[in-house]
Amino acid sequence: MLLDFSKMHGLGNDFMLLDLVTQPFEPSPAQIQAWSDRHTGIGFDQLLAIEPPTDPHADFRYRIFNADGSEAEHCGNGARCAALFIAARGLSPKRSLVLQLARGTIRVTHLEDGQVEVEMGEPSTAPESLPFIADAPGVSPVAESPGQWLIDSSVGPVQVFTVSMGNPHAVLFVDNAAHAAVSEIGSALMQHPAFPAGVNVGFCQVVDGAFLRLRVFERGVGETQACGTGACAAAVAARLTGRTGPRVKISLPGGKVRVAWQGTGSSVNMIGPATLVYQGQIEA
């Protein structure tokens, strides 16, 4: 079977996208791993599948698979690419769409300047939302404010802010993101028993009250050029710890996004670009 696909990226966070509305198919973990290989396959951080929804309030189902074949709950950069892909494939004429995730829904909207806005949903610092095992060995709270923890990891004690954006995140505030031990600390936290489903680890440098620098070690992938949910998690953590206001620009290795969050009870909104690299066919 020949499958049509598109290669896209959001700030260098790159994806293979499949239209499984008009060409029904279920990729296996082995196929995803083979296709993700940057030497012998297409090469990507995540595979994104657009399918008919099972939620009657959604326009499409949006599934995310990491390069190792595991399925993820959410991907913000991917959501922007999914919006562009759906329009390019002629699957919907709408400028604003509701996409069904593994948990809940999000709204994506094409803006006049060609960028895409994603209503990412309401964040949560409740440990069970990640999930995060707050009473795991080597874990202790560091402040009365929810979400802040000291974790005794294999590379030493690490202070994190935990937040769910529909997927699990741990944010570390660092003096200089460029010099952060992203792979070493990211791998250690990924494997820590306090995160039974793994975790995406963000290394956030606060430049000022409206500007952050960020690098992210993504679960099932490693460090990527950009992470949309990671950017949103960093914005939430920075605001809840009094470091920033409701609107921030976030610089990642692949480029910049804008994130707005009015506070508890409101959705995090993210604006950024999506780029089509090429289209092709692959034997499945």
Average pLDDT of the chain to the nearest whole number: 97
2-52 confidence digits (pLDDT tens): 999 999 999 999 999 999 999 999 999 999 999 999 999 999 999 999 999
Catalytic, out of 75, 81, 204, 232: 75
Task: Compute the chain's Rg from CA coordinates.
Answer: 18
The CATH code belonging to domain 127-266 is: 3.10.310.10
> First vs last Cα of the chain: how many Å apart?
5
Q: Please check whether residue 186 is in contact with residue 153, taking contact to mean a CB–CB distance below 8 angstroms.
A: no
**For residue 93, what pLDDT band results from cuts at 50, 70 and 90?**
very high
**For residue 221, what pLDDT band results from cuts at 50, 70 and 90?**
very high
Residue 92 pLDDT: 98
**pTM, to two decimals:** 0.94
Active site residue 227: yes
Residue 146 pLDDT: 87
Q: Identify the CA nearest to 234 among candidates 269, 204, 270.
A: 204
Q: Is 51 exposed, middle or buried (0-12, 13-18, 19+ CB in 10 A)?
A: middle
Residue 145 pLDDT: 76
Q: In the CATH hierarchy, which top-level class contains the domain 2-121+273-283?
A: alpha beta
Structural domain boundaries in the chain: 2-121+273-283, 127-266
230-282 confidence digits (pLDDT tens): 999 999 999 999 999 999 999 999 999 999 999 999 999 999 999 999 999 99
